[in-house]
Amino acid sequence: MDKTISPDLKSWVNIPAGSDFPIQNLPYGIFKYGTKKPRIGVAIGEHVLDLAFLYRKGYLDNLFLNENVFKSKSLNKFIGLGKAYWNLTRNRISELLREENTELRANKEDLKEALVPMIEVEMLLPLQIGDYTDFYSSMEHATNVGKMFRPNGDALLPNWKHLPVGYHGRASSIVISGTPIQRPKGQTMPEGADTPVFGPSKLLDFELEMAFIIGRGNEMGTSIPTTEAESHIFGMVIFNDWSARDIQSWEYVPLGPFLSKNFASSISPWVVTMDALQAFKCEGPVQDPPVLPYLKFEGNKNYDINLEVFIKSDKGEATLVCESNTKYLYWNINQQLAHHTIGGCNMRIGDICASGTISGAKPNSYGSMLELTWRGTKPITLNDGSERKFLQDGDTVIMKASCKKGDIRIGFGEVTGKIIPST
């Protein structure tokens, strides 16, 4: 087993109980602190380890890098070094943070600069994202939406169990957690009307998703088989794919969602690596009918990641509205990537592929307001007593993700976004 995920590892850095960031996690992010330029950091407990500083001080000399790739406003260059360097870097950071290692710990002066309290840093978008794809990989979600949008047809369309349905999203409007989300305007067709109206969306929603980040590209004209998909994926983040349901239901025929999804998507700041996640692999749902050969895979390719969604109104405390899990996904990320590239599409470092809304079988595991309130017919009551059919101005949506196995718990932190009124 990879030593960096061993449950026996302990760090000299204080890790509060229940922390998302023990020494077994070591996720990467881009942070800003004081007057320093943006740089790569690793989350450890309630601190951020400044890799640009460690490099400058020689702590990372054994990586034999030609330049300080950690002094950067995105992870792309570091990711581009390749998997061998991801491993070297992870091993070295793990080593420096271990209880028995005194190299950094004993140097009080360096320590002050190397470990920054998380509460004092500003997290930035960790990637330069060229392209963003959104899948539709949860059978429960696709079934629920099918029932609501096509009440007289089959809930699942005939292609759904044969290929991971997806569409090309908008990369330019992916924002970091904490960025306010302005209610979008657009065309909608009110029920019973025969001409559309224009105005702020009335049915603003979140979508609970996880997204993976491309760590190694492929040439145009080639494809990535399921057996190699893992070596092309760097890590994962929580992904809130904000959606305007009233705009969506009017515009989506025949080419799929457009303005209803392109105004914003929010991601969590810490990229949890596939190395850190390896202990949390699990079986996915049985795929029946059998898939075509290029989508076949062996072994456990799903991930057991617990997901939570909270809504916090302007006055109230946060209310837990959904508990789901990434393991419910019918199509795993290896299949998503294999399918994405089977026609010869080239993926590039920093591209993001989101799972689609992750819903489970139980009503409290539905990953969107659309499903939780069944298109507004069953409103949710928040802790402050107010009701919600969809999101209101002033609401903050908070999504959290974490994995637990035995004594080890690693987490993704959270992705938050507050709805502000249309202008």
Tokens of 16: 């509060």
Distance CA 139, CA 358 (A): 9
Pick the stretch among 89-97, 200-208, 294-302, 372-380 that binds Mn ion (CB under 5 A). 200-208
**Min. distance of Cβ 169 from Mn ion in angstroms?**
8
Pick the stretch among 113-121, 199-207, 221-229, 284-292 that binds Mn ion (CB under 5 A). 199-207
User: Which is it for strands 122-124 and 115-117: parallel, antiparallel or unpaired?
Assistant: unpaired
Our answer to whether residue 162 is catalytic in this structure is: no
**Min. distance of Cβ 356 from Mn ion in angstroms?**
5
Tokens 């890799």 correspond to 51
CB atoms within 10 A of CB 103: 11
Distance CA 36, CA 217 (A): 31
Per-residue buried b or exposed e for 295-312, using 16+ beta carbons within 10 Å of the residue's own CB: bebeeebbbbbbbbbbbb
Whether 209 and 223 have beta carbons less than 8 Å apart is answered as no
Write out the binding residues for Mn ion, residues 116-135 only, by CB under 5 A.
134
**Min. distance of Cβ 45 from Mn ion in angstroms?**
32
For residues 278 to 317, the per-residue mask of contacts with Mn ion, x marking binding by CB under 5 A and - elsewhere, is ----------------------------------------
Pick the stretch among 10-18, 58-66, 155-163, 203-211 that binds Mn ion (CB under 5 A). 203-211
Kindly tell me which of 59 and 331 has the beta carbon lying closer to Mn ion.
Answer: 331
Whether 167 and 133 have beta carbons less than 8 Å apart is answered as yes
**DSSP 8-state secondary structure symbol assigned to residue 331:** S
Q: CB nearest Mn ion: which residue? A: 241
Kindly tell me which of 116 and 181 has the beta carbon lying closer to Mn ion.
Answer: 181
Tokens of 250: 């009017």
Pick the stretch among 14-22, 65-73, 154-162, 206-214 that binds Mn ion (CB under 5 A). 206-214
Kindly tell me which of 172 and 423 has the beta carbon lying closer to Mn ion.
Answer: 172
Kindly tell me which of 41 and 166 has the beta carbon lying closer to Mn ion.
Answer: 166
Distance CA 310, CA 313 (A): 10
Position 224, amino acid: I
Write out the binding residues for Mn ion, residues 223-262 only, by CB under 5 A.
241
- CB contact set of 266 (below 8 Å; sequence gap of 6+): 174, 175, 176, 177, 179, 181, 239, 240, 242, 415, 416, 417
**Min. distance of Cβ 345 from Mn ion in angstroms?**
19
* Binding status of residue 207 toward Mn ion by CB under 5 A: yes
Region class of 26: left (phi > 0), else alpha (psi between -120 and 50), else beta: left
**Min. distance of Cβ 322 from Mn ion in angstroms?**
15
**Min. distance of Cβ 286 from Mn ion in angstroms?**
24
**Number of chain residues interacting with Mn ion (CB under 5 A):** 3
Distance CA 82, CA 63 (A): 12
Catalytic: which of 47, 141, 339, 340? 141
Among residues 25, 14, 85, 22, which one has the least CA distance to residue 55?
85
Kindly tell me which of 257 and 413 has the beta carbon lying closer to Mn ion.
Answer: 257
Kindly tell me which of 60 and 267 has the beta carbon lying closer to Mn ion.
Answer: 267
Distance CA 209, CA 137 (A): 10
Query: Which residues have a catalytic role annotated?
Result: 141
Residues in contact with Mn ion by the rule CB under 5 A: 134, 207, 241
